[in-house]
Amino acid sequence: MHIYLDNAATTALDPEVIDVMVETMKTEFGNPSSIHAHGRQAKTIVEKARKTIAHLLHASPAEIFFTSGGTEADNMAIVRSIEAYGITHAITSPIEHHAVLHTLEELAKTVKIQLDLVRLDAKGNIDLTHLEELLAKNPRTLVSLMHANNEIGNLIDIKRVSEICQQYQAIFHSDTVQTMGHYPHDLSQLKIDFITCAGHKFHGPKGVGFLYINASNKIKPLIFGGAQERNMRGGTENVYGIVGLAKALEIAYRDMESHQAYIQDLKSYMIQELQKAIPTINFNGNIDPENSLYTVLNVSLPCTNMSDMLLFNLDIAGISASGGSACSSGSDIGSHVLRAIDADPERPSVRFSFSKNNTKEEIDIVVAKLKEICDHE
């Protein structure tokens, strides 16, 4: 039996998504940039997908730009907004995804922007007072803060952050890769400049995502080469991927309420069972439902001698999860997120991330295996 609990890394394709992609592959091979009938039909399919996504997000289709995924979308938003608006100051957090953190660090070295990291509390929550202090000193700043952390699951109050950024006339970009398809995003109400998406995080295909660019923003392409995406991204569109992405998001919104309840119940059940089986277990980040991504649970285990072998032992047992430690070990530099929240470097950590395909029976097996590992270190 194989148990997959690494859904924050990627998810299995939904059968409905597979069906629509296969059908598109069979019948629609035209290049959307071609003016003949095959090309026009492919173009129509891409634009229909764009409209579907825009409708779900309460945005304009003209604000949705397809990309290869979240990393490209993050890079495009950050690099080109700094260039377009002559920004010399940026604010992010030490627990951002590397698609954001490494991009801003590189820009700090090459473009010479000033980069500030907003303070965190012991649980990894953003200090909004410190954010305001940083903004007050540097108006017209780029703020890049992810909606939900991919390792520990902490959620930010994205509406409140957007209001603060608006107050100080800051450009606000949020990596919403982990929350897209899991929470509703009403962009008619949220004052935000850029958000990003990767289809494979909500049972869509890999290699496709999108960048939302608020209509008030004008930036240049990151990738040149053609007039695709209304002159904003060169390269032939990934028609099959775009169709799958739109279908996956449509399904996610259709079933969101029931899936949220089901997956949150799985997470709460695992927390409860882990606390009973391993009383000295620690949870990294928030675990309360109001402030935590319901698909992610990060734990630190007391079996300190098993740090290097924990994931290996889980894998041998047929359990797929992600992990890391807060310290360096040889060439393994560990998790920058766990280091930033001062997680115990002696304890091995595991990120379990859930989907609609998981069951409580699987949770029971995983908890029993973790207890066995800790009891026999």
- What residue spans define the domains of the chain? 3-10+256-375, 15-252
Convert 326-348 to b/e letters by CB count within 10 Å (16 or more is b): bbeeeeeebbbbbbbbebbbebb
CA 316 from centre of chain: 28
Tell me the whole-structure pTM to 2 decimals.
Answer: 0.95
Catalogue the active-site residues: 327
Report residue 41 as tokens.
Answer: 């039909």
| 3-state percent helix, strand, coil for the chain, nearest multiple of 5 | 45, 15, 40
**Side-chain-side CA neighbours of residue 26 (13 Å):** 6
The CA-atom distances, in angstroms, between 333 and each of 123, 268, 316 are 21, 31, 24
- Name the region of 361 (left: φ>0; alpha: ψ -120 to 50; beta: rest): alpha
Distance between CA atoms of 171 and 213, rounded to whole angstroms?
A: 11
- pLDDT by residue, tens only, the chain of 377 residues: 799 999 999 999 999 999 999 999 999 999 999 999 999 999 999 999 999 999 999 999 999 999 999 999 999 999 999 999 999 999 999 999 999 999 999 999 998 899 999 999 989 999 999 999 999 998 789 999 999 999 999 999 999 999 999 999 999 999 999 999 999 999 999 999 999 999 999 999 999 999 999 999 999 999 999 999 999 999 999 999 999 999 999 999 999 999 999 999 999 999 999 999 999 999 999 999 999 999 999 999 998 676 668 898 999 999 999 986 544 344 457 899 999 999 888 889 999 999 999 999 999 999 999 999 888 75
Distance between CA atoms of 91 and 141, rounded to whole angstroms?
A: 7
CA 118 from centre of chain: 19
Distance between CA atoms of 76 and 16, rounded to whole angstroms?
A: 31
The pLDDT, as a whole number, for residue 326 is 47
Q: What are phi and psi of 254, to 5 degrees?
A: -60, -40
The pLDDT, as a whole number, for residue 72 is 98
The pLDDT, as a whole number, for residue 307 is 60
Amino acid identity, position 230: R
The top-level CATH class assigned to 15-252 is: alpha beta
Amino acid identity, position 347: R
Is 3-10+256-375 assigned to CATH 3.90.1150.10?
yes
